[in-house]
Structure 1
Amino acid sequence: MNITAEQRKKVKGQGFLSNNDGIHFSARVITRNGVLNAKQIRNLSEVAEKFGNGNVSFTSRLTVEIPGIQYDDIENVKVYVAKEGMTVGGTGAKVRPIVACKGTVCTYGLVDTQGLAIEIHKRFYEGYSDVMLPHKFKIAVGGCPNSCVKPELNDLGIVGQKKPDYNSQLCKGCAKCGVIDTCPMKAASMENGKMIIDQSVCNNCGLCISKCYFNAIPDEEQGYKVYVGGRWGKKTRIGSLIDKMFTKDEVLNVIENAILLYKNEGVPGERFGMTIDRIGIEKVQEMLIANDR
């Protein structure tokens, strides 16, 4: 069968990407933050056996790709994955599927990354599915400063935070300080008989919470750090850090503001980081947190 360029473009927009043999396609099946249930996994195995080449692979953004699909089977694949509530897609100049770490089960996880990412998926991946942008827009949610999902290399990256609530009056200046011994960043030190925390070094990982023998850090302020304009690839750009710690509701507002700013101010073919550099990060930051003051 002779497949035209127009046909390839159309099915790519639906989530079917041409294989390098020029004949077959890979179905890109969307997951919610990389999570599938057992029935969905069985379904994908069946799709691979019935319509593909028997293999199932995962993209770097935690979607599933099933290669080796014939053009004439594309509609059959859509129907088959829909049996278990799955869809194909995740391509084009739109909000892309959300990536999140497993912060809810990881020992270092500070926030419910999966819960937040599901909200973002519903509101912005599904809810903005018809909104065309200048280029693709990637969002990642990390549960702690370990940044396993590289939030700072996404168009918008979110990082869970626990800022230590330190009461210096309770510090006894212990010769062996539990906070200093615990801090992986070496942000804590002893000065004039008191433990101090260098906020320019502290990354709010939360590991020092409750480590003081005299309860000088009994609690924390929990929130989120947000990076914008990150990009990986041939032209790498580390995301610009917004100078504020956000609540969950504020994070959702920032995402919406960022997408709308990009849609209205971005140039076709321009990634969000390029838009930010053109407008200026100070102005962009002002626009992104305008509703949070």
Structure 2
Amino acid sequence: MSIKKEDIARVKGMGFLLNRGTEKFSGRVVAPGSVFTAEQVKALAECAERFGNGTVAFTVRLCAEIVGIPYENIEPARAFLRQAGLEFGGTGAKVRPVVACKGTTCVFGNYDTQALARHLHEKYYEGWSNVALPHKFKIAVGGCPNSCAKPSLNDFGIEGHRAPVYDSEKCRGCKVCAVQTSCPVKAVSMEDGKAKIDTNACISCGVCVGKCPFQAVAHESETVYAIYVGGTWGKTTRNGTRLSRMVRADEIDALIEKTMLWFRENAYQKERLGKAIDRLGVDALEKALFGDDLLARKEEILAAPIRTAP
């Protein structure tokens, strides 16, 4: 190996991962909002042909990887893609690229997931790019309980819900109830000629919303969000802890920031958020997330060194 170990580590921090058994690298390109434009896709293809081996792979987090880049081509590849508004990156103990499902266009999506992901990309992936964390911090934006983006397996997962708003006065007691037949969890039954929604069984997936032609179930209802924290997958899988209440859109930014501040203050070096939650308890985390102390001490927390395990 003619490339020094310190140079391999240095470019890894820039998003270039050594290809096994070679002296070439895969360069990870971040997609804001999990979407590339057509022009950006053309730029990726040209970059792969000019600086890599002519192939592009896509990651689970919907980034692109240009494969087979020689070490001496790394800087030219970075400069080329920067002209297309793209950056290599997405590695290290910091906020990782935000992944979003197709809720923006999917028939099951309860909100514009890609718009939220772009906002979070700018505010946290870019805005916190120089903030060292104890370990990686992954954010996933999911549009509904189908969980295609696996929010419960991320450090901070967002899952959109829409609870049915039912007006029994508008129910005509149809022989074939569109609300009942659309419910994937059989939470709707007919009693005394009226639809009845079992709120304990309902998962607020939003599928039934707008299905009634007489608007017994409101065509538009507020989107609320289930939040998962501390999820991981792989060798040490941990399902994320779901916070005890749904939140509104205007609460999400503060919750992400508080979660990262709590993580930075309480986790040990190289300890994932889920491990810190298990060590310190969900109650302690929730008390901090739904309070104001962390934001009040933000500068102090960010200035402090990351803790080392005893």
Q: What is the CA–CA distance in structure 2 between the aligned matches of 1:195 and 1:78, rounded to whole Å?
A: 59
1:85-108 alpha-carbon deviations (Å, 9 max, x no partner): 111110000000000012111111
Partner residue, 1:51: 51
The residue correspondences of 1:99-178 to structure 2 (distance < 5 A) are 99-171=99-171, 174-178=174-178
Alignment of 1:194-205 (within 5 A): 194-205=194-205
Cα distance in 2 for partners of 1:51, 1:182 equals 51
Aligned-residue offset at 1:167 = 3.0
Aligned to 1:273: 274
Are the counterparts in 2 of residues 228 and 241 from structure 1 also a CA contact under 8 Å?
Answer: yes
Give the alignment's Cα RMSD to 1 decimal.
1.7
Contact 1:157 1:227 in 2 (8 A): yes
Contact 1:152 1:230 in 2 (8 A): yes
Distance 2:139 2:159 in 1: 11
**Partners in 2 of 1:200 and 1:21 — Cα distance?**
55
Task: Please list the CA deviations of residues 231-250 of structure 1 after superposition, one character each: whole Å capped at 9, or x if unmatched.
Answer: 11011111111122222120
Structure 1 unpaired stretches of 5+: none
Q: How does 1:31-70 map to 2 (within 5 A)?
A: 31-70=31-70
Deviation at 1:84, TM superposition (A): 0.5
Task: Name the TM-score, length of structure 1 as normaliser.
Answer: 0.93
Question: What amino acid is aligned across from residue 283 of structure 2 in structure 1?
Answer: E
Quote the Cα distance in structure 2 between the aligned partners of 1:174 and 1:54. Answer: 59
Percent identical pairs in the alignment equals 49
Aligned to 1:290, what secondary structure does the other structure show? coil
**Counterparts of 2:142 and 2:222, CA distance in 1:** 17
Does the 8 A contact of 1:33 with 1:62 survive in 2?
no
TM-score by length of 2: 0.89
Q: Choose 221-230 or 124-133, whichever is displaced more.
A: 221-230
Q: What SS does structure 2 have at the residue aligned with 1:33?
A: helix
| Equivalence for 1:207 | 207
Report the number of matched residues. 291
How do residues 52-91 of structure 1 correspond to structure 2 at under 5 angstroms?
52-91=52-91
Secondary structure in 1 matching 2:136: coil
Aligned-partner SS, 2:33: coil
Residue type of the alignment partner of 1:58: F
Inter-CA distance 184–139: structure 2 relative to 1 (3 Å threshold)? same
Give the distance between the partners of 2:244 and 2:193, measured in 1 at CA. Answer: 32
